[in-house]
Amino acid sequence: MRLEDKTAFITGAGSGLGREAAELFAGEGATIVAADVDLEGAEETIDRVEDAGRAGTAVELDVRDADAVHAAVDEAVSTFGLDIMVNNAGVSHQRARIEDIDEGERDRIIDVNVKGVWNGCHAVIPHFKEQGSGAIVNTASLAGVIGAPQLGAYSLSKGAVVNFTRTVAAEVGPAGVRANAVCPGVTDTPMPRKGQTEAEWEATKEEMARHYPLKRLGEPEDIANAMLFLASDDADWITGQALVVDGGFSCT
């Protein structure tokens, strides 16, 4: 197992990509700290982890709160030790032209997607540097590396995550710590289907899939597998990278 005797702290673990990563990492031997603003969702994730025979704990956490993030990370370190930090919590917004996105909505996106990643890295880096090892995986987006019309605030936030990840990697690499980002294309999670009925979402998926060379949208396990690779020793000489996982969309 690729994560035997390791502990992973995963934000946004109450649903979607975070939950998928938690279950996959646990299956590879990791102890899981599942953090989410939705405590019930995080607890359900840990129930699944424990049903699979692995250990874990759920933490109610708003990644915008720097003090809370530091406290949660410190508690994980003292209780389990910590080897992997997955800064996955994120939000998006309804499609709109840049001039129609108000300041409050822009700030909401930046507070979660940018400050949340900053807070996670800020909290974990001292621990990783002290132990001389650690892997950080930040969830960015395809929208952070190519243009994303009508997703201006989201694209702004995810582009920041991509470049911040490079900076973290350059800064902490000499201490034996790695940092990478995963950049998903549209993936079948609660975020893109928000506000749609099941029938509407199935029609949306079918229409969008036409634009992907692999003729389908991403599934949560597609992204979680990329996270696992970046978090594991298989990627021991990989740092500062933005791994695009998009079914070929960006090459068309």
Q: Answer yes or no: pTM beyond 0.85.
A: yes
On whether residue 141 sits in a domain, the answer given is yes
Domain membership of residue 250 (yes or no) is: no
Q: What pLDDT is recorded for position 231?
A: 98
CATH at 229? 3.40.50.720
Measured CA distances, 244 to 181, 187, 248 (Å):
9, 12, 9
Collapsing DSSP states into helix, strand and coil, what is residue 128? Answer: helix
How many structural domains comprise the chain? Answer: 1
Question: Mean of the per-residue pLDDT values for the chain?
Answer: 95
Q: Check pLDDT > 90 for residue 139.
A: yes
CB atoms within 10 A of CB 143: 23
Per-residue confidence band for 114, with pLDDT thresholds at 50, 70 and 90:
very high
Residue 97 has pLDDT above 90, yes or no: yes
The CA distances from residue 199 to 34, 92, 185, 203, 206, in Å, are 31, 22, 21, 6, 11
> Is the dihedral angle over the CA atoms 62, 131, 135, 17 positive or is it negative?
negative
Q: Is the pLDDT of residue 52 over 90?
A: no
140 lies in a domain?
Answer: yes
| Percent share of the chain, pLDDT over 70 | 100
Helix axes 16-27, 39-51, angle to 10 degrees: 20
- What share of the chain in percent tops pLDDT 90? 87
Residue 32 neighbours by CB under 8 Å, 6+ apart: 7, 8, 10, 13, 22, 25, 26, 45, 46, 49, 54, 55, 56, 57
181 DSSP β-pair partners: 138, 242
18 found inside a domain: yes
H-only helix segments in the chain: 16-27, 39-51, 66-80, 103-110, 116-131, 152-172, 190-193, 198-209, 220-231
Q: What is the per-residue pLDDT for 197?
A: 84
Report if residue 16 sits inside a domain. Answer: yes
List C-alpha distances in Å: 159 to 11, 83, 125, 133: 19, 26, 21, 26
Annotated catalytic, 212? no
Q: For residues 194 and 122, which has the higher predicted lDDT (pLDDT)?
A: 122
Cα 251 from Cα 89, distance rounded (Å): 27
**Average pLDDT for residues 180-192, to the nearest whole number?**
91
Does residue 114 belong to any structural domain of this protein? yes
Are 172 and 125 in contact, with CB atoms under 8 Å apart?
yes
Q: How sure is the predictor about 161, in pLDDT bands with cuts at 50, 70 and 90?
A: very high
Q: Residue 195 above 80 pLDDT? A: no
> How many C-beta neighbours within 10 Å does residue 103 have?
8
Q: What was the pLDDT predicted at 196?
A: 83
Q: Give the domain extent around 35.
A: 7-188+219-244
Residue range 25-42: mean pLDDT, rounded: 98
Average pLDDT of the segment spanning 193-197: 79
> Of 9, 25, 118, 154, which is the active-site residue?
154
- Identify the weakest region by mean pLDDT among 37-46, 97-106, 192-201: 192-201
Is the pLDDT at 34 greater than 80? The verdict is yes
pLDDT over threshold 90, residue 64: yes
User: Do residues 7 and 31 lie in contact, with contact meaning Cβ atoms separated by under 8 Å?
Assistant: yes
Q: Can you give the pLDDT at residue 203?
A: 86
Cα angle 235, 240, 245 (rounded to 5 degrees) comes to 70
Mean local confidence (pLDDT), 139-152:
94
- Given a cut of 90, whether residue 178 has pLDDT beyond it is yes
The pLDDT of 47-57, averaged and rounded, is: 93
The answer to whether position 214 is within a domain reads no
- Cα angle for residues 54, 182, 209 (degrees, 5° grid): 105
Give residue 157's pLDDT.
97
In a domain, 131, yes or no: yes
| pLDDT of 191 | 79
- Of 45-54, 200-209, 226-235, the range with the highest mean pLDDT is 226-235
**C-alpha triplet 59, 62, 68: angle, nearest 5°:** 75
